[in-house]
């Protein structure tokens, strides 16, 4: 095979042959060119790679998708893969073409991955989620924009690094999603507070599976959380919040959004939990019975996300968190304010949308079983 020193004459011959070649001939030439590149890439400099890149891009415009799949598979693992060729393959509408590059090409930057995740299909996002390593900024976009399958791919990927905020979003999405709950449970980077939230919101059937599959170091923590949850449930006993009375009060001003938002701060500051929940329901369009479980969760993150999705100022959100979780106001300000400011409204709205969808599916499932 030609060495790096002879590559320029060979490339010129290929370029000259392109003008009169048929589709089948171009396909054979492209595969031959790919083999030539793969066999000698260690000896190529940037100028040689650029030559390959230029001709491959030109040939790709006249090649069927099946051939592009093969090209993608062959080039994706190469650290010297022609950059423009890989960019085009990664953005191809067919996930069969784009997939090998998205899941395994080191030529793609975080910015490339983020752009593709925001503009391409869910199968494209799932392929990105399978990369051996994912930085926090990419993982966050996948959790924000991905469907249930993508979220699960992220959770299963031990090489997907994520911030506490992103992990919190993932845990919130796991509510009523047994598969995602189990995938998160297997990770080793879940903080104690989010681990507790994950277990608290899980159904009894899922908790039994978690206990069965727990690692030795998880088993003790899991038993402790379950005991704490049981004790808290017993302490609450049969306490019922009077939502009927709260609904009657809220009905007097609920047609005025500005007044409703102002009354939310007042009700939360005064500790009127039922009224706070009803107002949140009015503002968000989410049923009271879907919001109420968030009050009993181990962590206020879900309430914080709901408040952010409504574009509430931090002062109001802090009052709601304090009222709904009985938290110390100073502790809330110290631990939650930064996360609240870092959480984009659009991101919070997407997470609430996913969470509400899972809740509605769960409701229909249990209604049918009942």
Backbone phi, then psi, for 134, in 5-degree steps?
Answer: -130, 130
Q: Judge whether 272 and 323 are in contact, CB under 8 Å.
A: yes
Backbone phi, then psi, for 78, in 5-degree steps?
Answer: -75, 130
Q: Residue 32's closest CA among 62, 59, 61?
A: 59
Q: Which of the two residues, 220 and 152, has the higher pLDDT score? A: 152
Determine the angle formed by the axes of helices 65-75 and 95-104, rounding to 10 degrees: 10
Alpha-carbon gap, residue 310 to 279, rounded angstroms = 12
Question: Each residue of 282-296: pLDDT tens digit?
Answer: 999 999 988 887 876
Q: Is 22 exposed, middle or buried (0-12, 13-18, 19+ CB in 10 A)?
A: exposed
- Other C-beta atoms closer than 10 Å to the C-beta of 331 total 11
- Mapping DSSP to helix (H, G, I), strand (E, B) and coil, where does residue 160 land? strand
Query: What is the per-residue pLDDT for 1?
Result: 42
Residue 188: band (very low, low, confident or very high) from pLDDT cuts 50, 70, 90? very high
Q: Which of the two residues, 130 and 4, has the higher pLDDT score? A: 130
Average pLDDT value for the chain:
86
Question: Each residue of 244-281: pLDDT tens digit?
Answer: 999 999 999 999 999 999 999 999 999 999 999 999 99
Query: What is the per-residue pLDDT for 229?
Result: 73
Residue 8: band (very low, low, confident or very high) from pLDDT cuts 50, 70, 90? low
Alpha-carbon gap, residue 57 to 146, rounded angstroms = 30
pTM for this predicted structure: 0.85
Alpha-carbon gap, residue 101 to 75, rounded angstroms = 8
What are the residues whose beta carbons fall under 8 Å from the beta carbon of 293, sequence distance 6 or more? 201
Q: Which of the two residues, 349 and 234, has the higher pLDDT score? A: 349
Alpha-carbon gap, residue 102 to 109, rounded angstroms = 11
Q: Residue 308's closest CA among 145, 152, 172?
A: 172
Look at residue 2 and tell me whether its pLDDT is greater than 60.
Answer: no
Query: What is the per-residue pLDDT for 184?
Result: 97
- Interior/surface letters 90-112, b for 16+ CB within 10 angstroms, e for the rest: bbbebbebbbbbbebbebbeeeb
For 270-305, give the DSSP string. Answer: TT-HHHHHHHHHHHH---HHHHHHHHTSS-THHHHH
Chain mean position to CA 110: 15
What are the residues whose beta carbons fall under 8 Å from the beta carbon of 28, sequence distance 6 or more? none
Query: What is the per-residue pLDDT for 97?
Result: 96
Residue 63: band (very low, low, confident or very high) from pLDDT cuts 50, 70, 90? confident
């Amino acid at each position: 095979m030609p060495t790096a020193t002879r590559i320029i004459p060979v490339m010129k011959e290929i370029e000259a042959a392109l003008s009169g070649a048929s589709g089948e001939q171009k396909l054979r030439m492209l595969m031959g060119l790919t083999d030539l590149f793969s066999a000698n890439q260690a000896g190529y400099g940037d100028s040689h790679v650029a030559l390959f890149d230029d001709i491959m891009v030109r040939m790709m415009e006249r090649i069927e998708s099946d051939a592009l799949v093969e090209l993608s598979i062959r080039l994706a693992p190469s650290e010297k893969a022609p950059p423009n060729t890989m960019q085009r393959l990664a953005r191809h509408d067919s996930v069969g073409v784009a997939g090998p590059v998205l899941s395994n090409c080191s030529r793609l930057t975080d910015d490339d991955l983020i752009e593709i995740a925001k503009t391409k299909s869910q199968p494209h996002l799932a392929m990105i989620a399978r990369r051996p390593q994912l930085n926090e900024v990419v993982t966050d976009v996948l959790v924000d924009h991905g469907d249930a399958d993508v979220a699960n791919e992220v959770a299963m990927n031990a090489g997907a690094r994520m911030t506490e905020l992103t992990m919190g979003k993932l845990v919130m999405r796991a509510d009523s999603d047994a598969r995602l709950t189990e995938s998160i449970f297997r990770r080793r980077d879940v903080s104690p507070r989010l681990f507790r939230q994950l277990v608290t919101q899980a159904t009894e059937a899922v908790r039994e599976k978690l206990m069965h599959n727990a690692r030795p170091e998880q088993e003790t923590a899991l038993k402790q959380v379950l005991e704490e949850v049981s004790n808290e449930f017993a302490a609450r006993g049969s306490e019922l919040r009077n939502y009927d009375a709260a609904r009657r009060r809220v009905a007097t001003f609920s047609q005025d959004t500005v007044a409703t938002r102002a009354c939310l701060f007042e009700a939360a500051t005064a500790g009127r939990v039922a009224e706070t929940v009803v107002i949140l329901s009015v503002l968000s369009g989410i049923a009271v019975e879907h919001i109420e479980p968030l009050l009993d969760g181990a962590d206020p993150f879900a309430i914080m996300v709901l408040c952010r999705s409504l574009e509430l100022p931090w002062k109001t959100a802090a009052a709601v968190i304090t009222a709904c979780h009985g938290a110390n106001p100073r502790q809330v300000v110290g631990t939650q304010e930064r996360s609240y400011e870092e959480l984009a409204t659009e991101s919070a709205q997407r997470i609430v949308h996913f969470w509400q969808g899972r809740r509605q599916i769960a409701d229909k499932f249990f209604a049918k079983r009942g």
